[in-house]
Amino acid sequence: MSLFPKKNLFCLFDSVVPSRYILKFRKFVFFEPFMGNDIANRGRLSHYGCDRRKEFAKNLRKIRKETELLLEDIEAYHIYMAVKKTQKVPGDIAEVGVYKGGSAKIICSAKGDKTLHLFDTFEGLPKVDDIDMVWPFYEGKFAASYDSVRNYLKEDSNVHFYKGIFPETAGPIEDKRFSLVNLDVDCYESTKSCLEFFYSRMNPGGIIISHDYITAPGVKKAFDDFFEEKTEPVLETAGSQCLVVKV
C-alpha cells in the first residue's frame, strides 16, 4: 500500500490550490489553447449576437455572482437549450449532482411549470473507484450545504429535493416519466446507476445530458458501456458534456 494514496494527494493539492481557481485560471486566452480547450473558448456565448443568447448570458453572469457554478458558459447553454426544447416532451425534469444549485438555477430559468427533482448527497462525492481517480475527483469533494441550496432555489416553483446517495433516494420518483435529465456526478458507479434508473423512464424525444464525459473517465465508460447495445448514439458536445436523445 502506498504511503501517499492518490486520494490524499488530490485532497492535499486541492486544499492548496482549489480546483475552482484552476478552472478560472484556465480561461485566460493565452493559456487555454495550450490545454486543448480552444473549442470551448471559441464557443463562448459572448461571440454570439442574438437576443436570446444575450439574455441567457446576462442571467448566467447573475447566477455566477450568486453561487459557484462548475460549468463552462457553453455547457450551461447546452443545458438551458435542452430544457427549453424538451418542454414539448411530456414528463418531469431531474438533476443528479446539484452541488451549490448553479446548474439547477439554469434549469429553473428554462423549465416553465415543469416539475424538477434534485438529487445530491450534499456531502460530496460518494466512494469513487480507481477509474474515477483523476484530479479533482475524490470522495467527499463538492460537499455543499443542503439548507443553503434550498434557500437559493426557494423562489422557484415545483422543485423537490432529495438528500442522500442516488439511487437509494429515488423511491418517490419510481413511477414518474422524464423529458430531461441532467447528470453531473463525476464518477462511474453514480453515472451507471443513474442511466440504469432513468433510461427506461425517459419519454421519446427526452434528453439525458451529462457533464464530464471528456474529463472523467468513469463517466465516459459508464455512458459508452450502457449505450453500446442501444439504438441511441452518445453525442459528445463542445465543452465536456455528452447528450443522448431517447428514441
Ligand X SMILES: C[S@@+](CC[C@H](N)C(=O)[O-])C[C@H]1O[C@@H](n2cnc3c(N)ncnc32)[C@H](O)[C@@H]1O
User: Is 172 within 8 Å of 162 (Cβ atoms)?
Assistant: yes
Q: Which of 40, 72, 82, 103 binds ligand X (CB under 6 A)?
A: 103
Q: Which of 121, 210, 237, 241 binds ligand X (CB under 6 A)?
A: 121
Query: Which segment (23-31, 99-107, 147-155, 173-181) binds ligand X by CB under 6 A?
Result: 99-107
The letter for the amino acid at 241 is Q
Binding flags for ligand X, 154-183, as an x/- string (CB under 6 A): -----------xx-----------------
Instruction: Give me the least distance between CB of 120 and ligand X, in Å please.
Output: 4
The number of residues in the chain equals: 247
User: Is 77 within 8 Å of 56 (Cβ atoms)?
Assistant: yes
With H, G, I as helix, E, B as strand and everything else as coil, classify residue 243: strand
Q: Interface with ligand X includes 116 (CB under 6 A)?
A: no
Q: Which of 124, 133, 134, 177 binds ligand X (CB under 6 A)?
A: 124
Instruction: Give me the least distance between CB of 106 and ligand X, in Å please.
Output: 8
Whether the bond into 136 is cis, omega within 30 of 0: yes
| Cα–Cα distance, 239 to 82 (Å, whole number) | 15
Binding flags for ligand X, 138-157, as an x/- string (CB under 6 A): ----x-x-------------
Residue number, 71 or 222, with CB nearest to ligand X = 71
Within 10 angstroms of residue 87's Cβ, the number of other Cβ atoms is: 15
Q: Which of 40, 60, 70, 110 binds ligand X (CB under 6 A)?
A: 70
User: Is 85 within 8 Å of 92 (Cβ atoms)?
Assistant: no
Query: Which segment (31-39, 81-89, 185-193, 232-240) binds ligand X by CB under 6 A?
Result: 185-193
| Cα–Cα distance, 41 to 28 (Å, whole number) | 9
Q: Binding residues for ligand X, how many (CB under 6 A)?
A: 24
| Cα–Cα distance, 139 to 152 (Å, whole number) | 25
Task: Dump the DSSP string for 207-218.
Answer: EEEES-TTT-HH
Residues binding ligand X (CB under 6 A): 69-71, 96-100, 102-103, 119-121, 124-126, 142, 144, 165-166, 184-186, 190
